[in-house]
Structure 1
């Protein structure tokens, strides 16, 4: 008896994705691009800040009153180009999130993955609105902080999505870490959140308001030297608990991939700490800020990748699209 699946006309007319069954490899590639773009837009946002281009487009959703695009003479052309360019990158991010969402739908992936991909889209829309509010309140420090922190949450969730897409839906959810390691990992993640929050406060107390015309108006009124030390001490707390997690993984003989992620995270935290110390010693030069923001995204992403290894789905037969139904669909389309 033949076990091949012969597609019927009906099976190939089930909606707009009927003739697309993306492989798990393609889904992961799209998810990786989304993760990179989520981190990358925070870097371009920091470039807006250090070039003083935050009000290059002085309203939202338009660039200037009555115009969606920059207007000659409304602001220095370089500031308009930098700010408008950063806004346009949002559409690249939207396209990446949409591609991931459609691919997991077409592959008939499990509900967890579909929800994660949907959250990415909602988060991007919310970030665009927050960015608009930031402009409308003339880059007040708290608005800038609230614009940055959700981006880090989206980076964290994008890394989880990337990991989960690589796990077959019919695999068995398994607890990979001893319970005490999971507890310490939670503490480390909370410590990382505190580092990010105090980092935005340090920036808020600094001189880089995001626009040359704003100056120190609307800045956080605390001693920046004290704030920088609070931020730095919290980084050491985060590093301490992360070291405990990585040591625990080594003692528990965790998977080699998981241990490598842990060691890589330690290295990235140390690099980030080094950049922060260098910034403090040099008086926070403008050119250093994009590097610090980029490493923030890297550290958050690797923290998430390591966290996601704690409860993986192992085994499973759906190795083509990641979904049993998706594999059947892929086989039917191949046969057609």
Structure 2
């Protein structure tokens, strides 16, 4: 889906350091970790383990780790395991930062790498707040949305690392296609926000002891229709982008990325429709969350193709 544009060597004029191939592998690991931790978070929610560790940064009042009897052990294990994944994501982000600095990469790449670390720290704090306020819907929504932003950053980083630092920046889309791609990205943001509202009013609060207290007091079915309408707007904007890319003879790698993105959106749409008509069974939630990361990453890939540094 994404073409590699540079060789496995240090860019000319830079000091020796990790090869571009290694940098990209590290960035790919970071991207997978950023998407994966959102899935583990959804598992916390659908298993009712959100308050398995009722304190933060400790798990329980007197212990950093789960303690027998403080809460059901399986709930403690799931919530604590999700917290531990934060260290995995942090390690991946730190590895990318070190690689970028050792290879002497350009400022843009370093900034994206550091943004990933800052985002992980921010997410840890937001996650702690969501626990301390007993999983209020707005806290959970605020916890999810930055995760999608970090997936976008990691995807953009994966693309930019492949570009030679000294090469000129080239515009590869027609202006109309570029504007439509931006419109599609904006529509995706609205889709994600309305999706958190559907979840916030739905049955999966994240912990059985919380019940519907602190949930969004709006009709879930109505919100689902609004969310679906936003999804259709996003799909239409993406399809129009594909059409303009085809019409303007855009580069093949950009066009193929756009086609793959459309396919991912359709799969996500199918999962969402199944959720609606099946009554949001637990097993569909991690699938929907995982595909959210896939769609966000693919949208970022398409956006990155619009302007690139080519060898």
Please classify the TM superposition score into its range, dividing by the shorter chain length.
over 0.9
Query: Which whole-Å CA distance do the structure 2 matches of 1:171 and 1:261 have between them?
Result: 22
Match of 1:201 in 2: 197
Q: Which has the larger radius of gyration?
A: 1
Match of 2:70 in 1: 74
Please report how far the alpha carbon of residue 20 of structure 1 lies from its aligned counterpart in structure 2 after TM superposition.
Answer: 6.3
Match of 2:188 in 1: 192
Match of 1:16 in 2: none
Q: Could you say what secondary structure the match of 1:169 adopts? A: coil
Query: Which whole-Å CA distance do the structure 1 matches of 2:63 and 2:16 have between them?
Result: 40
Match of 2:257 in 1: 261
Match of 2:11 in 1: none
Aligned length: 298
Match of 1:321 in 2: none
Supply the RMSD in Å over aligned alpha carbons: 1.1
* Residues 1:34 and 2:36 are matched in the alignment: no
Please report how far the alpha carbon of residue 257 of structure 1 lies from its aligned counterpart in structure 2 after TM superposition.
Answer: 1.0
* Residues 1:23 and 2:19 are matched in the alignment: yes
Query: Which whole-Å CA distance do the structure 2 matches of 1:306 and 1:224 have between them?
Result: 32
* Residues 1:240 and 2:236 are matched in the alignment: yes
Give the TM-score taking structure 2 as reference length: 0.95
Matches for 1:86-125 after TM superposition, within 5 Å:
86-125=82-121
Query: Which whole-Å CA distance do the structure 2 matches of 1:248 and 1:297 have between them?
Result: 25
Match of 2:43 in 1: 47
Matches for 1:1-336 after TM superposition, within 5 Å:
21-315=17-311
The C-alpha deviation readout for 1:279-309, integer Å capped at 9, x for no partner, is: 0000000010000000000000000000000
Q: Could you say what secondary structure the match of 1:236 adopts? A: helix
Please report how far the alpha carbon of residue 115 of structure 1 lies from its aligned counterpart in structure 2 after TM superposition.
Answer: 0.6
Match of 1:6 in 2: none
Unpaired runs of 5+ residues, structure 1, are 1-18, 316-336
Q: Could you say what secondary structure the match of 2:307 adopts? A: coil
Please report how far the alpha carbon of residue 89 of structure 1 lies from its aligned counterpart in structure 2 after TM superposition.
Answer: 0.3
Larger relative contact order (Cα-Cα within 8 Å, sequence gap ≥ 6): 1
Please report how far the alpha carbon of residue 187 of structure 1 lies from its aligned counterpart in structure 2 after TM superposition.
Answer: 0.9
Query: Which whole-Å CA distance do the structure 2 matches of 1:167 and 1:248 have between them?
Result: 25
Please report how far the alpha carbon of residue 116 of structure 1 lies from its aligned counterpart in structure 2 after TM superposition.
Answer: 0.6
Deviates more, 1:63-72 or 1:25-34: 63-72
Unpaired runs of 5+ residues, structure 2, are 1-14
The C-alpha deviation readout for 1:141-196, integer Å capped at 9, x for no partner, is: 00000000000000011111110000000111001111111111111111000000
